[in-house]
Amino acid sequence: MFTRKRILIKKIFENTSQYLDKSITVCGWIENFRVQKNNGIAFISLTDGSYLTSLQVILDPKTDEEREKLDSIYEDGTKGVSLEVTGILVSSPAEGQPIELKGETLKIFGKVDASEYPITKKKLTLEHLRKFPHLRIRTKTLSAISRIRNTCSTATHSFFQLHNFKYVHTPVLTSNDCEGAGETFNISNTLSDGEPFFGKPTNLTVSGQLHGETYATSLGDIYTFGPTFRAENSNTPRHLAEFWMIEPEMCFIDLKDLMDITEDYVKFCINTCLVQCKLEIEFFNKNYQPELLASLQNIVSKPFQRISYTEVIETIEKHIAEGKAIVREKEIEHKKFKKKAKGKHIFEEPVFWGCDLGSEHEKYMTDKVVEGPIIVYNYPKEIKSFYMKENPDGKTVQAMDVLVPFIGELVGGSMRIDDYEELKTKMEGKGIDIPWYLDIRKYGSVPHGGFGLGFERLIMMITGIYNIKDVIPFARYPKHCDN
């Protein structure tokens, strides 16, 4: 049976009475180091990645050997040096810290040359840290993001397992483009005879949805959670070339059911983080987004407003007519337009029924109009994917998007066309040839639907971090795939 010799700092802070006045061993990396000049006592802030708060370790060298160990740390630098310390955990007399470890033995594992180490004591911007993707995890911000990411991952599995969903591993390599947009990474490997490796054009998946539907129509309710890829030349703070998607698919449901479970899932993840990652959220609230905690509490405290696409368009058009907002007029001189737009919200792109809502329109609805999350449903069929079920009006499809403050679109989903002939006609009209996908409707078809949630956007919402490149361990985006 595996047992740890070292005690995690997280366990020490959460179960202090269990370890108080006892000899324990901790391991970690130095976050801060200072020595009192008058007596040579060293004070070390030690972190092991398990907890936001570091543990203060006090070392009082009594022998020349002990002093030499401390001096050797100073020779190169202190931040990042890895240690093992054994000592007695005691209540701390100092303000601001409940406990400290009186070190008795010290073992140094790895030193750090401060002249070369890029993770310095001074505050570094997230943009600067992107230059060191292999080392940035050693900062308090990135380690806090990673703990929230871990919590959301386990919460995802907990939520769907509690609702009796089956976890399905859909393929990363596929011969189809789910969205039909052509933004796929192609696999160009060939065999010795020069033929394509798989015998046909193949690409990295943009979604596990289509394959997920095949399992849903036998198992009932399933979900996928894996990497997806999009070859879109986009450098916005909300897009990556490689990202993770959560895609459940459910049978025997309607659009209301789909909206209900989507809302429940998002709230479940946020609630889990509010309980299990309270310190991390307080850290982000203090250092990155002052309204973060209040915003998250607001999201989970009341139902998401549900507004049709048509109502969204009418609302924005009404606000423009009333002078609350204005669309940028590019032909007008900048100074003249600035004067005309004074006191109004400026839209860069026009809005009209049939347009694909942009991020600016989505954020306007969540941040300015509703001041909270909304679910927009019944979109024009021309701007949505081929597999979405049409409404009786012939103009809209049963699609829904969850829009949240700060991010905009978090979730996109729909009911799927379940009639064989209807889907066959739609696919032929768009030149889409996926025979096996049609077979799902040919043999025992059922009403079904699902959604896709960009996992990194969920982490952005919970942490308040502005750029999606900072919430994934190794960001892949145009011209960046260095390690």
Among 182-191, 209-218, 221-230, 431-440, whose mean pLDDT is lowest?
182-191
Q: What are the backbone dihedrals phi and psi of residue 224, each rounded to the nearest 5 degrees, phi first?
A: -115, 155
Average pLDDT of the segment spanning 357-362? 94
CA–CA dist 258, 299 (Å, integer): 18
Instruction: Annotate 201-212 with DSSP letters as a single string.
Output: -EEE-S-SHHHH
Q: Report pLDDT for 483.
A: 82
Judged against a pLDDT cut of 60, whether residue 250 lies above it is answered with yes
Of the pLDDT bands very low, low, confident and very high (cuts 50, 70, 90), residue 340 is confident
- Provide the residue count of the chain: 483
Task: Specify the pairing of strand 99-110 against strand 55-59.
Answer: parallel
Q: Report pLDDT for 180.
A: 56
Q: What are the backbone dihedrals phi and psi of residue 240, each rounded to the nearest 5 degrees, phi first?
A: -135, 160
Judged against a pLDDT cut of 80, whether residue 159 lies above it is answered with yes
Q: Report pLDDT for 168.
A: 98
Average pLDDT of the segment spanning 91-110? 91
Task: Specify the pairing of strand 173-174 against strand 166-167.
Answer: unpaired
Model confidence pLDDT, tens digit, residues 393-406 = 999 999 999 999 98
CA–CA dist 88, 277 (Å, integer): 28
Please name which of 403, 294, 291 lies closest in space to residue 357, comparing C-alpha atoms.
403
Judged against a pLDDT cut of 90, whether residue 113 lies above it is answered with no
Which has more confidence, 175 or 383?
383
Count CA within 13 A, CB hemisphere, residue 167.
12
Average pLDDT of the segment spanning 408-429? 96
Q: Domains in the chain, please, with CATH? A: 9-117 (2.40.50.140), 137-304+372-470 (3.30.930.10)
Q: Report pLDDT for 69.
A: 83
First vs last C-alpha separation in the chain: 36
Average pLDDT of the segment spanning 466-478? 95
Q: Report pLDDT for 182.
A: 59
Average pLDDT of the segment spanning 251-269? 98
Judged against a pLDDT cut of 80, whether residue 76 lies above it is answered with no
Of the pLDDT bands very low, low, confident and very high (cuts 50, 70, 90), residue 181 is low
- The answer to pTM > 0.75 is yes
Mean predicted lDDT score pLDDT of the chain: 93
Among 6-15, 165-174, 337-346, 381-390, whose mean pLDDT is lowest?
337-346
- pLDDT > 70 in the chain, percent: 98
Helix (H, G, I), strand (E, B) or coil at 82: strand
Is residue 262 a contact partner of residue 250, using CB atoms and an 8 Å limit?
A: no
Judged against a pLDDT cut of 80, whether residue 74 lies above it is answered with no
Q: Report pLDDT for 415.
A: 98
Of the pLDDT bands very low, low, confident and very high (cuts 50, 70, 90), residue 75 is low
Is residue 418 a contact partner of residue 389, using CB atoms and an 8 Å limit?
A: yes
Q: Report pLDDT for 460.
A: 97
Instruction: Using the Cα atoms of residue 43, residue 47, residue 51 and residue 57 in order, give the sign of their dihedral.
Output: negative
